[in-house]
Amino acid sequence: MKLRLSSDFAIDTDVYKREGLRISILAMSGHGKSNAAADLVEDVLDNHAQVIIIEPIPEWHTLKARYNNIVVIGGPYQDLPLEPAFAHEYVLAALEKGISLIVNVSDIEDEVEQLHFVSSFLWNLYRLEQKYRRVLFLVLEEADIWAPQSWDQMSKPSLSRVSLIAKHGRKIGIFPILISQRPADLHKSPLSQCNINLFGKFTSPADLDPKTGIMYVVKKLHLPITEEQIMKLPTGSFVVSHKGGVDTIPVRKRICPHGADTPLIEPKPFTADLSRALGGLRDEISKAIAAKKDEESVVKRQEKEIVRLKRENEELEAKAKIKMSVKEMLQQDKDVGVATPSLNVVPEDVRKRLAFLGEQLAESAKKIEWFELKEKQYKQRLDQAEKDLKVYDELRSWLRMAINVQNIYDNIHRVEEKIPTAIPTQIPTDGDVPGKVVVTETIPEIHHKIERPILETDESTHEGRLITLTLHGFFDEKRRVIAIGKEITRTYGVQVNTKALNEALESMIQKKTLQREETSNGGWEYWTYPGAKDRIKEVDR
């Protein structure tokens, strides 16, 4: 496959067959990044290869003007709505059907939720591509958002997965294209993996900085490029570093219109097979979104009712305090020898007011008791609703497993057999603290050496999944068993058996991979044992 950037310059992918192809496109805003990236993507699509594009704002939907296998997820020009919980389903549909995706995350308003979705999407892409192994180009617009140089706990998972694909994507056929107008903000781990770099014009000192900016990359790769060359590049021209050397080229004009300039296009119609596949996935997503909204609506209504009852309770308590204050005012301090005055000398209007306040106090006490009872009932209803939601999530996971196989009837029967084991009916205590899991079996320590890259563990077992989660930083924070189970279900799409998970956690404790601490309510919290990640990496080597 040849990716032609100009009439006299092309990237021959065969030259990079052994080491893999990883491309970066860096230029300041308005100087041709999108045109250069689209030029590459159009050549990829013309060669019938697959493209997945992740964008924070809508620009790439104009590819639909020329190609009929492009599906837009999310954003104002969507073919499918974006539901954050469906990252696995989007990736699976794309790889099974050979569909090229444009994933617009602008529908997710919260930045942390955006990072979480992109992290989950990339992780599912990396896992599922190991089965399908299609030639797939992954385009990351504004790559510095998903792989920031200054990362925190929220952005760490997405950074980790961008770096993972940059390092090991070649083995399974994923070729990343990183696009950024802020190279100083883009993490140098995935950037340093790029073996083809398109450097466009920059004038900002921060972006040219030899310690953090584009000149850092130039220096690291020992390229004969000067800061003056970068600053004087005309719009649309790039200095390209590649296996054959360094060339300065004017990139040719893209065929499809620019999404930022031409938002309205007439898309090519989908094929009948693709339309049917999209229709089924759209129905499934719509039902999931509707069910989620109904669940949230019920919970919010109950929360509002509890707030209202508490407010009324506080008002009644305030009235009761007024009554008590009036009563205290009618008494004299007996320690100084002053007798309490008789009620016979109290004026008639005061006595009537006191009698009225006494009646109000009695009525308030009854209302307080009634509202306390109602508050207790609503709390019980909320607890039951949470249990119902948990059962719903478990049933939905099993249903997905049943739908994803050919013999649906046999697998529905298997699902029905497994449901009782997914909900523990009794937690053994053996006289210990209620809820505390007691392990009676001694698990021997196993030493093994794996001649495979890091993270290619046996993820068909809970212990293998826990090791992978440890390497990716999930256990950098303390995690409870229920949170661990949810992460395994979300990441691997499997239902977690509590007993099997506890056995795997106990094995991790014995091997000093994880450590744990008992919580105040009798449960356990797990987190990474000091130095465990380094020991796992040594074994993997």
3-state SS string over 395-434? HHHHHHHHHCCCCHHHHHHHHHHHHHHHCCCCCCCCCCCC
Burial grade of 536 (CB within 10 A; 0-12, 13-18, 19 or more):
buried
Domain shared by 319 and 453, yes or no: no
Query: Domain holding 481: CATH number?
Result: 1.10.10.10
Name the band, by pLDDT with cuts 50, 70 and 90, for residue 431.
very low
Angstrom distance (rounded) from CA 325 to CA 113: 52
Whether 279 is in a domain gets the answer no
pLDDT for the residue 154 = 92
Query: In this structure, how many other beta carbons lie within 10 angstroms of the beta carbon of residue 327?
Result: 13
Per residue in 90-106, pLDDT (tens digit) is: 999 999 988 999 999 99
The tokens for 132 are: 């399908």
Q: In the chain, what percentage of residues exceed pLDDT 90?
A: 43
Domain shared by 364 and 441, yes or no: no
Residue 37 pLDDT greater than 90, yes or no: yes
Domain shared by 45 and 30, yes or no: yes
Domain shared by 440 and 505, yes or no: yes
Angstrom distance (rounded) from CA 464 to CA 504: 9
What are the start-end ranges of the H helices in 441-497? 462-471, 481-492
Q: In the chain, what percentage of residues exceed pLDDT 70?
A: 80
Among 406, 422, 438, which residue terminates a domain?
422
pLDDT average, residue stretch 58-62: 92
The domain in which residue 67 lies consists of 2-9+16-254
- Contact between residue 184 and residue 209 where contact means Cβ atoms under 8 Å apart: yes
What is the overall mean pLDDT for the chain? 81
Q: What angle do CA 134, 137, 141 make, to 5 degrees?
A: 150
Domain shared by 241 and 109, yes or no: yes
pLDDT for the residue 364 = 79
Domain shared by 404 and 448, yes or no: no
Angstrom distance (rounded) from CA 442 to CA 445: 9
Domain shared by 225 and 317, yes or no: no
Domain shared by 488 and 377, yes or no: no
Question: At 469, is the secondary structure helix, strand, or coil?
Answer: helix
- Contact between residue 304 and residue 103 where contact means Cβ atoms under 8 Å apart: no
- Contact between residue 344 and residue 372 where contact means Cβ atoms under 8 Å apart: no
Whether 358 is in a domain gets the answer yes
Residue 147 pLDDT greater than 50, yes or no: yes
Among 235, 254, 273, which residue terminates a domain?
254
Whether 108 is in a domain gets the answer yes
- Contact between residue 435 and residue 522 where contact means Cβ atoms under 8 Å apart: yes
Query: Domain holding 139: CATH number?
Result: 3.40.50.300
Residue 453 pLDDT greater than 70, yes or no: no
Among 387, 422, 457, which residue terminates a domain?
422
pLDDT for the residue 367 = 80
Question: At 282, is the secondary structure helix, strand, or coil?
Answer: helix
DSSP element (H, E) containing 504? helix 498-510
The residues, ordered by sequence, that sit 6+ positions from 510 with a Cβ below 8 Å of its Cβ are 443, 445
The tokens for 56 are: 């924070």
Domain shared by 357 and 451, yes or no: no
Q: Which of 201-215, 260-274, 389-403 has the highest mean pLDDT?
A: 201-215
pLDDT for the residue 325 = 65
Question: Alpha carbon of 353 to those of 201, 293, 325, 326, 350: distances in Å?
Answer: 84, 52, 14, 10, 5
Q: How many CA atoms lie within 13 A of 276 on its CB side?
A: 3
Whether 276 is in a domain gets the answer no
Whether 266 is in a domain gets the answer no
Angstrom distance (rounded) from CA 456 to CA 536: 12
Domain shared by 442 and 353, yes or no: no
Domain shared by 180 and 322, yes or no: no
The number of folded domains in the chain is 3
The separation between CA 17 and the C-alpha centre of its own chain, rounded to angstroms, equals 32
Question: Of 164, 158, 196, 160, nearest to 178 (Cα)?
Answer: 196
Whether 249 is in a domain gets the answer yes
Whether 473 is in a domain gets the answer yes
- Contact between residue 533 and residue 513 where contact means Cβ atoms under 8 Å apart: no
Whether 461 is in a domain gets the answer yes
Domain shared by 53 and 75, yes or no: yes
pLDDT average, residue stretch 257-279: 69
Return left, alpha or beta for 433; rule: phi > 0 is left, psi -120 to 50 is alpha, else beta.
beta
